[in-house]
A and B are shown apart, each in its own frame.
Chain A
Amino acid sequence: MKAIYMLLVSLVIVLISVIWIIVTPEPAGVAGAAHPVVPGMQVAGDGAARYEAVMYPAFFLQVGVLAAMTSLLLLPFQEGVRMRGMFIRLVLVFVLSAAVWIGITVTYEQFLQSSRAPEDLLFVAGFPLPSALAVYGVWTVGLLLTFFYVFGFERFVYTARDRESFEALVEDMRQEGGG
Chain B
Amino acid sequence: MEELRQPIILGSVLFYMVLCIGIGLWAMRKTKSAGDFFVAGRSLGPIVVGLAVFSSSLSGFGFVGGPGLVYSTGLSSVWMSTVTAFGFAIGFYLIAKRIRMIAEVRDTLSLPDIVAARYNSELARGLTGVTILLGVMGYMATQILAMAMVLKALLAATPMFADTSLVTCAVISTSVLIFYSVTGGIIASVYTDLVQGSIMIVAGVLVVITAATVLDGGMTEVSQTIFADDPEAIMPFGTVGVVGVLSWFFLFGFGLAGQPHIITKMMMNRRIEDNKIILPMSMLGYAVAVLLWVSVGLVMRAVVVGDMLTPLEAADQAAPVFLSQYAHPLLAGIVFAGLFAAIMSTADAFLNIGAAAVVHDIPKAVRGMAMKAELTSARWATVIISLIATGFALYAHYGSGQLVALLGAFGWGTFAAAIVPIVVIGLNWKRATRPAAITAIVFSLVINLAFQLFGWSLPYAMHPGFLALLVSMILFIIVSLATPEEEIAPDIDRIMEL
Residue from the list A15, A44, A153, A169 in contact with B470, Cβ < 8 A: A15
Q: Is B273 engaged at the interface, CB distance under 8 Å to the other chain?
A: yes
B311 near A31: Cβ-Cβ < 8 Å: no
What is the predominant secondary structure among interface residues of chain A facing chain B? helix
- Bound-state CA distance A165–B495 (Å) is 9
Give the shortest distance, in Å, between A93 (CB) and chain B (any CB): 9
B474 near A8: Cβ-Cβ < 8 Å: yes
- Bound-state CA distance A69–B324 (Å) is 41
B227 near A127: Cβ-Cβ < 8 Å: no
Stretch at the interface among B16-24, B247-255, B364-372: B247-255
CB neighbours (8 Å) of A163 from chain B are: 272
Residue from the list A4, A26, A42, A166 in contact with B459, Cβ < 8 A: A26
CB neighbours (8 Å) of A142 from chain B are: 82, 84-86, 88-89, 283
Interface 1/0 per residue, B265-297 and A, CB below 8 Å: 000000011011001100100010000001000
- Bound-state CA distance A35–B233 (Å) is 11
A141 and B474 contact, Cβ closer than 8 Å, known pairs A22-B458, A128-B223, A149-B276? no
Interface 1/0 per residue, A39-55 and B, CB below 8 Å: 11111110100110011
Please, which residue of chain B has its CB at the minimum distance from the CB of A121? B227
CB neighbours (8 Å) of A51 from chain B are: 237, 241-242
B218 near A126: Cβ-Cβ < 8 Å: yes
Query: For chain B residues 95-117, which have a beta carbon within 8 Å of chain A?
Result: 97-98, 101, 104-105
CB neighbours (8 Å) of A72 from chain B are: 90, 94, 254, 424-425
Give the shortest distance, in Å, between B271 (CB) and chain A (any CB): 10
- Bound-state CA distance A12–B497 (Å) is 28
Give the shortest distance, in Å, between B82 (CB) and chain A (any CB): 4
- Could you name 16 residue pairs across A and B whose Cβ atoms are closer than 8 Å? A4-B429, A11-B474, A18-B462, A40-B315, A42-B233, A43-B230, A44-B230, A51-B237, A65-B246, A75-B428, A111-B235, A125-B219, A126-B220, A128-B234, A145-B85, A145-B89
CB neighbours (8 Å) of B101 from chain A are: 166
Query: For chain A residues 121-139, which have a beta carbon within 8 Å of chain B?
Result: 121, 123, 125-128, 130-131, 133-135, 138-139
- Bound-state CA distance A21–B89 (Å) is 29
A131 and B90 contact, Cβ closer than 8 Å, known pairs A4-B429, A22-B458, A65-B253? no
- Which residues of A does B touch, CB under 8 Å? 4, 7-8, 11-12, 14-15, 18, 21-22, 24, 26, 30-32, 35, 37-45, 47, 50-51, 54-55, 58, 61-62, 65, 68-69, 72-73, 75-76, 104, 108, 111, 116, 118, 121, 123, 125-128, 130-131, 133-135, 138-139, 141-143, 145-146, 149-150, 153, 157-158, 162-163, 165-166, 169-170, 172-173
A44 and B246 contact, Cβ closer than 8 Å, known pairs A169-B491, A170-B105? no
CB neighbours (8 Å) of A165 from chain B are: 494, 497-498
CB neighbours (8 Å) of B30 from chain A are: none
Residue from the list A14, A39, A61, A126 in contact with B311, Cβ < 8 A: A39
B253 near A169: Cβ-Cβ < 8 Å: no
- Bound-state CA distance A62–B243 (Å) is 9
A32 near B241: Cβ-Cβ < 8 Å: yes
- Bound-state CA distance A162–B254 (Å) is 27
CB neighbours (8 Å) of B222 from chain A are: 126
Please, which residue of chain A has its CB at the minimum distance from the CB of B218? A126
A14 and B470 contact, Cβ closer than 8 Å, known pairs A72-B90, A72-B94? yes
A139 near B228: Cβ-Cβ < 8 Å: no
Q: Is B10 engaged at the interface, CB distance under 8 Å to the other chain?
A: no
Give the shortest distance, in Å, between B443 (CB) and chain A (any CB): 14
Residue from the list A43, A69, A73 in contact with B233, Cβ < 8 A: A43
B85 near A130: Cβ-Cβ < 8 Å: no
CB neighbours (8 Å) of B38 from chain A are: none
CB neighbours (8 Å) of B92 from chain A are: 149
A73 and B231 contact, Cβ closer than 8 Å, known pairs A30-B460, A61-B246, A128-B223? no
CB neighbours (8 Å) of B79 from chain A are: 134, 138
Interface size class of B (residues with CB under 8 A): 35 or more
CB neighbours (8 Å) of B73 from chain A are: 32, 42
A4-B429, A38-B305, A166-B498 known; 18 new pairs, CB 8 Å cut-off, are A4-B425, A7-B477, A30-B460, A37-B311, A40-B313, A41-B301, A44-B231, A44-B233, A65-B253, A68-B254, A123-B223, A126-B222, A131-B223, A139-B82, A139-B85, A139-B287, A153-B275, A158-B273
- Bound-state CA distance A40–B228 (Å) is 19
Q: Is B179 engaged at the interface, CB distance under 8 Å to the other chain?
A: no
CB neighbours (8 Å) of A130 from chain B are: 235-236
- Bound-state CA distance A158–B218 (Å) is 45
Q: Is B78 engaged at the interface, CB distance under 8 Å to the other chain?
A: yes
CB neighbours (8 Å) of B279 from chain A are: 146, 149-150
Of A133, A146, A165, most buried by chain B (CB within 10 Å of CB) is A146
Give the shortest distance, in Å, between B62 (CB) and chain A (any CB): 16
CB neighbours (8 Å) of B273 from chain A are: 153, 158
Give the shortest distance, in Å, between A114 (CB) and chain B (any CB): 11
B254 near A42: Cβ-Cβ < 8 Å: no
Q: Is B74 engaged at the interface, CB distance under 8 Å to the other chain?
A: yes
Q: Is B240 engaged at the interface, CB distance under 8 Å to the other chain?
A: yes
